[in-house]
Amino acid sequence: MQAPVNENRLEVIDFLRGIAIVEMLSTHYAVYFPAVLARLIDYTETAMPLFVLLAGVIVGWGYRKFEPDPRGQSWIVWRRALRVLAIQYLMILTLGLPLYWLGMPEVGNGQSLGEFLFQSMVFLNQIGLLHILPTFIPLFAIAPLVLFALSRGWDMALLLISAALFCVGHFHPHLLDLGQPTIFPFILFQLYFVVGCVLGKATRQRGAPPPLRPQRWALVSFVLLLASMLVAHGKVLPAHLISTHPLNFFGLLYQLPLISTVWLVSLAMLPTIKRIWGYACVARFGRHALLSFVIHVYLAMALAVLNYLAPPPAWVNYLLILLSVLIMNEIVKRYELGRSKELVPIWVRAAEGLFK
């Protein structure tokens, strides 16, 4: 049985965003894991596509508000883009600069301090982990156009235009990139965002995330997932044809069964999943996904610096990874509790300005 839509929160969407956070943690820490486990994580990694899809769901969920107040609703999504931009600049100053001064590999590339700062601010420097948030800025920038189309009932036309842009991006993935070519090109990932917006509209209309009978579709999706794994990793197709960085058509076909299986199983089994240990933590990460991501970036970079300057034994890395997850959970938990207090702590109020 599916969880119904709540006016203030989409519970299953929070959980799915939490799953995306967990996937992101696994992906970024995979370099410290044994090769077999790292390969398994790489086979199933869909954190960024899932994040972008869910961002679209949240935008599309509010489509009914757009027609009576297009300016107000446009400003709401543009304000999200400005918040993301502010967080990106803050991370460049408080994380990018220290990495530059430490001489970390691929940070600065011989640039002067002024060049490094300027090129980072205009997205000409692609620093690991700091290259993720800029993907969302153009997506939120075009959101009013998507909402306009959804409010007029032009869903199919919107999907066709988005698919056509993806086809162009298959051959020219960096055609619409801002700054240095990214591993998550806008022209490709806009498809996930637009599909998410359409799903968000359907969720609002039907009273629950589609499809209405996810149990039936989950098995089909799982069979497709097994088939895609066989084709991709059983050398049925040449390995060079399938690309996820940057994404191409074959990479999309590989990722879709992964994402749909996670989506459908979450819809079908949420009441059961909620009884499993760890659900509360995952859902909490999903409710505060942007804050969770930013905390993770700082902790993951700290571990990367340690391994660059004085590589510790593998077991020390495992303990530090576990500690970073516990720290992340504790900060997010205290933030959530602080927001519920009558007298909100100053640090929570400051964080709310960027992360609410």
Q: Is 314 contained in some domain?
A: no
What single-letter DSSP state applies at residue 129? T
C-alpha closest to that of 28 among 130, 123, 108: 130
pLDDT value of residue 236:
82
Residue 182's domain spans which residues?
11-287
Q: Give the model confidence (pLDDT) of 102-145 as tens digits.
A: 988 888 878 899 999 998 998 888 788 888 888 899 999 999 99
C-alpha closest to that of 180 among 235, 116, 234: 116
Q: Is 19 contained in some domain?
A: yes
> Between the CA of residue 51 and those of 124, 158, 192, 259, what are the distances in Å?
23, 20, 9, 10
Residues 200 and 63: beta-carbon distance below 8 Å: yes
The vertex-72 CA angle with 71 and 77, nearest 5°, equals 95
Q: Is 66 contained in some domain?
A: yes
Q: Is 57 contained in some domain?
A: yes
Categorise residue 181: left if φ over 0, alpha if ψ from -120 to 50, beta otherwise.
Answer: beta
Q: How far apart are CA 304 and CA 300, in angstroms?
A: 6
Strand, coil or helix: 183: coil
What single-letter DSSP state applies at residue 33? S
Which position has the higher pLDDT, 82 or 177?
Answer: 82
Using a CB cutoff of 8 Å and minimum separation of 24, what contacts does 169-174 make? 169/247, 170/248, 170/249, 173/246, 173/247, 173/248, 174/246
pLDDT value of residue 187:
95
Helical spans, DSSP H, in the chain? 11-29, 35-44, 47-61, 70-91, 97-102, 113-121, 136-151, 155-171, 186-206, 214-233, 249-273, 279-287, 289-309, 314-340, 346-355
Q: Give the model confidence (pLDDT) of 226-257 as tens digits.
A: 999 998 888 787 878 889 889 999 999 999 99
Q: How far apart are CA 166 and CA 191, in angstroms?
A: 7
Q: Give the model confidence (pLDDT) of 160-174 as tens digits.
A: 999 999 999 999 999
Q: Give the model confidence (pLDDT) of 45-54 as tens digits.
A: 899 999 999 9
- Whether pTM exceeds 0.85: yes
pLDDT value of residue 240:
82
Which position has the higher pLDDT, 4 or 250?
Answer: 250
Q: Is 217 contained in some domain?
A: yes
- Number of domains within the chain: 1
Q: Which residues contact 332 (CB under 8 A, 6 or more apart)?
A: 284, 285, 288, 291, 292, 295
Q: Is 24 contained in some domain?
A: yes
Q: Is 121 contained in some domain?
A: yes
Q: Is 341 contained in some domain?
A: no
> Between the CA of residue 284 and those of 117, 143, 181, what are the distances in Å?
34, 26, 33
